[in-house]
Amino acid sequence: MELYGHPFSSYTWKALIPFYACDIPFEFRMLDQDHPENYAFVQKAHPAGKFPVLVDGDTVIVEATAIIEYLVASQEAARGLIPVDPRQAVNVRMLDRIFDNYVMGSMQRIVSAHIADGDNPDPDEIAAGETGLRRAYAWLEDWLSENALPPHISLVSCAAAPSLFYAGWVERIPEDRGRVAALRADLLAHSAVARCVEEARPYRGLFPSGAPDRD
Q: What is the DSSP string of 176-195?
A: T-HHHHHHHHHHHTSHHHHH
Helix (H, G, I), strand (E, B) or coil at 164: helix
pLDDT per residue rounded down to tens, the chain (215 residues):
999 999 999 999 999 999 999 999 999 999 999 999 999 999 999 999 999 999 999 999 999 999 999 999 999 999 999 999 999 999 999 999 999 999 999 999 999 999 999 999 999 999 999 999 999 999 999 999 999 999 999 999 999 999 999 999 999 999 999 999 999 999 999 999 999 999 999 999 999 989 999 99
The pLDDT of residue 166: 98
Domain 2-80 and domain 82-190, same fold? Reply is no
C-alpha 104/C-alpha 98 separation (Å) is 9
4's enclosing H/E stretch is strand 2-5
DSSP state of 103: I
Peptide bond into 86 cis (omega under 30): no
What is residue 23's predicted lDDT score, i.e. its pLDDT?
A: 98
Task: Give 27's DSSP letter.
Answer: E
Instruction: Give the CA distances from residue 106 to residues 27, 86, 133, 149, 166, in Å, rounded to whole numbers and listed in that order.
Output: 31, 29, 6, 22, 11
**Residue-range domain boundaries for the chain:** 2-80, 82-190
Q: How many C-alpha atoms does 115 have within 13 Å on its Cβ side? A: 8
CATH 1.20.1050.10 fits 82-190, yes or no: yes
Quote the Cα angle for 103-108-109, to 5°.
Answer: 105
| Contact present, 53 and 4 (Cβ < 8 Å) | yes
Nearest to 152 by CA among 105, 185, 174, 176: 185
- φ/ψ of 38, rounded to 5, equals -70, -40
Say how far apart CA 180 and CA 167 lie, in whole Å.
12
Class of domain 2-80: alpha beta
149 phi and psi angles, rounded to 5 deg: -75, 155
